[in-house]
Structure 1
Amino acid sequence: MGEAPIYQENVLCIMPFDKPTNVLDDIYDKYPLIKFKFIYQSFIPGLSWAMSQVDVSNEDYQKATILVTATTLPRNPNLVPNLKFIHFISAGIDHITNSPIYTNSDIKLTTSSGIHGPQIAEWVIMQLLAFNHHEKQLLAFQRQHHWGKADDVWNVRDYVGQRLGVLGYGSIGRQTASVCKALGMDIVAYTASPRTTSESKRDSSHIIPGTGDVDGTLPSAWYSGLDKASLHNFLEQNIDVLLVALPLTDRTWHFLGKEEFEILGKRNAFIVNIARGSIIVQDDLIAALKKKRGGLRGAALDVTDPEPLNHDSELWDMDNVAITPHNSGSGSSYAERSFRVLEKNLMNLELGMPLLNEVHRKRGY
């Protein structure tokens, strides 16, 4: 047995979860001199990813060499002179891109990308199956104590042979593709940059063992580009179900609107959005969902624009729409999985290796 490494960090954690004790025990075993300080920050009820205000002392910020956070950041980079990197418990960082830490510092930023695949893929499958099997109608029968007639819900189309288009083939898209492939679906993938080699198709983010599409071999075809022509070429590939799994950036804001829904409407496609609401032009989506011919057959939305969704939005009462409160990524393993990414990056930091899931500021994710 070798000696434990002489390695010390002061990790300040500001987050809405209990301490992930199993991961912390593993970290303490490897790095007995490491110190954690936890400050609990609660969610504001009814507001997706909105957090209560917390007081963080200047002394805590000055001591910190690593910051783990959801939304809270020092108002001035000068308050964190010893900070080596910030680990976000979310996969997206669009909520902090206007902060001084993002715009006026070169502090390294990492995300929890890779931890959401299993739970979000299960949410997606739940929505797809519920829609095709008329779950809303069946639940209405149960509430009414009514034994519905078979012909009320007879028209069930399974997903064998249908095509899933994954707009943003990251960890979430890959795990969803894996499960949909098991249902007999064909997969086509779309990424910002071309993936023409085996190495470029590999998943380089954090991977939960046994999940995803590590080698990128599931798609029967791969498309790329952030211009309209490239996007339209992808959408014209006979897509039956479109999964929106893109990060929100200046380039993807309102990425899907009237023109895109007209293309998808030719196939009477179903839209699933687990990314960010403002990737979609919401009024255009509503119009496409209401069209009797050449429109969308339905949508499952875990995100909307704005959040929470306006009380009087038409989306609430549309029979072909399912809405959930930005919770598809929630799970009992969330904090543990996020801290597993942190654990890997503690080792990478010690060894002088690149950090996992590091944000590229110019790219926006």
Structure 2
Amino acid sequence: MGGGPAKERMLITLPMKEPTELVERLRSKFPHIDITFKNVSYTKDKAQHESEIPSDIWHDITLLFTLSALPPSPASCPHLSLISLYSAGSNHISSHPLYTSTSIPITTSSGIHGPQIAEWVIMTSLIHSHKYKTLYELQKSHRWGKKDTSSDYHSVRDMVGLRLGVLGYGSIGRQVARVGQAMGMDVLAYTASPKPTPEKKKDLGFIVPGTGDPDGSIPSAWYSGLDKASLHDFLKRDIDVLLISVPLTEQTKHFLSTEEFKILSQDGKRPAFVSNIARGQIVDQAALIAALKDGTLSGAALDVTDPEPLPEDSELWDLENVIVTPHISGVGQAYTDRAFQVVETNLERRERGEGLINVVRRERGY
């Protein structure tokens, strides 16, 4: 009797060939869950996803693990009780009725990207500070270079004693802070809400073992707020490298523009380096280009732009003090395995009646 499915049913919809070992690991650990894997298109076209997944599958599932393929409406998945996202963010589904009109828990894969993104941040920062673009051009032209201090690659400033400002102290920011501190940098943290106690400073999400800042002990100071006055107070703190790692929300769209770049770099007297691995729209891109061209900023490393892909005629491509990569800082061979680890952790916690990790708080947008 009753209207629900006889057992738990999980649907995994990802744009890849089935990772058999990982799926079998879940089946072995949770034999009471009937798991189906569907290789779907890597697309934002909802109609395409709907054509790839029959309506009867949506109707019976209780658990969904996906990147962006969602049931067309809440009515099409009446038994769905948990949505696990393959991505670190949820902004790409924030207009879907399952997000806006239900209270079904949504979790993300936040926490799995810290190691590879931190390496990208440090790599691009060193490319800038060690003048590697110039050195690479010398190598391509088979030239040894000049043995005099007038060459720009003789004016290297190491990271020791520099100040790293982490705008968004989540899992990614914490791992960048860990590596930055190991290189001798002082770290300042910025979060949306205050973290006045040791308990509030803890990272309660998924943590790759041996990484990050689990107890929040690395920053020498914490700042917080979503208002401009609080942001400006943070940017005034003699920051040499600013990492942008906040989620994109209505409050953070164009969070950084002309005024913020001037405050950060003291009107160009102390040009800072900006690294953006979050979302392109957090930065006013026209203002960023102007600041990079007039010396307000010393340079930028951009894994995200506005729009994406970056148009061929964008000035950013040809600015000598800019490094552009095609939104790849988070990719890595361990990505899928770690994303499955997050799902596995939450299924375990769910069975024990414990709270889930990486739960999206819809009221704040992430």
State if a TM-score over 0.5 links the two structures: yes
The Cα of 1:26 is off from its aligned counterpart by 3.4
Distance 1:219 1:285, change over 3 A: same
Q: Which runs of 4+ in 1 moved over 3 A?
A: 17-26, 49-54
How far residue 144 of structure 1 moved from its aligned partner, in angstroms, is 1.0
- Give the Cα–Cα distance (whole angstroms) in 2 for the partners of residues 276 and 50 of structure 1: 21
Moved more, 182-191 or 347-356: 347-356
Match of 1:116 in 2: 113
Aligned partners of 1:244, 1:57: CA distance in 2, in Å?
40
Give, in angstroms, the shift of residue 284 of structure 1.
Answer: 0.3
Identify the residue that residue 216 of structure 1 maps to in structure 2: 216
The answer to whether the 8 Å contact 1:271/1:298 transfers is yes
Q: 1:50 to 1:313 in 2, by over 3 A?
A: farther
- Per mean C-alpha deviation after superposition, the further-off stretch among 342-351 and 236-245 is 342-351
Q: What does residue range 150-165 of structure 1 map to in structure 2 within 5 Å?
A: 150-151=147-148, 152=151, 153-165=153-165
Q: Tell me if the contact between 2:187 and 2:221 (Cα under 8 Å) persists in the aligned partners.
A: yes
Q: Alpha carbon RMSD of aligned pairs, Å?
A: 1.7
Q: Write the distance in 2 (CA, Å) between the matches of 1:303 and 1:51.
A: 24
Q: CA deviation at 1:313?
A: 0.6
Q: Does 1:287 align with 2:284?
A: no
For residue 273 of structure 1, the aligned residue among 247, 266, 276 is: 276
Deviation for aligned residue 1:17 = 3.3
- In structure 1, runs of 5+ residues without a counterpart are 1-6
Amino acid at match of 1:132: S
Secondary structure at the counterpart of residue 364 of structure 1: coil
Question: How far off its partner does 1:21 sit?
Answer: 4.1
What is the identity, as a one-letter code, of the residue corresponding to 2:336? Answer: A
State how far apart, in whole Å, the 2-side matches of 1:9 and 1:320 are. 53
Q: CA deviation at 1:27?
A: 2.5
Q: TM-score, normalised by structure 2?
A: 0.93
Q: Deviations over 1:258-300 (max 9, x none)?
A: 11000122220000000000000000000000113xx000000
Q: For 2:18 and 2:202, how far apart are their aligned partners in 1?
A: 32
Q: Percent of pairs identical after alignment?
A: 54
- CA drift of 1:43 comes to 3.6
Structure 1 partner of 2:33:
34
1:72–1:168 Cα change, 3 Å: same
Do the aligned residues in 1 keep the contact of 2:18 with 2:38 (CA within 8 Å)? no
Mapped contact 1:41–1:51 kept (Cα < 8 A): no
The 5-angstrom pairing of residues 257-268 of structure 1 reads: 257-266=257-266, 267-268=270-271
* Residues 22 and 336 in structure 1, CA contact (< 8 A), matched pair in contact too: no
1:291-344 deviation per Cα after TM superposition (whole angstroms, max 9, x unaligned): 13xx00000000000001111110000000000010000011111100111001
CA shift at 1:20, angstroms? 3.9
1:102-181 alignment, distance < 5 Å: 102-151=99-148, 152=151, 153-181=153-181
Bigger mean CA deviation after superposition, 26-35 or 311-320: 26-35
Say whether 1:84 aligns with 2:106. no
What is the deviation of 1:29?
Answer: 2.8
1:64-103 to 2 correspondence within 5 Å?
64-103=61-100
Alignment check: 8 A CA contact 1:161 1:184 kept = yes
Q: Distance in 1 between matches of 2:315 and 2:279?
A: 19
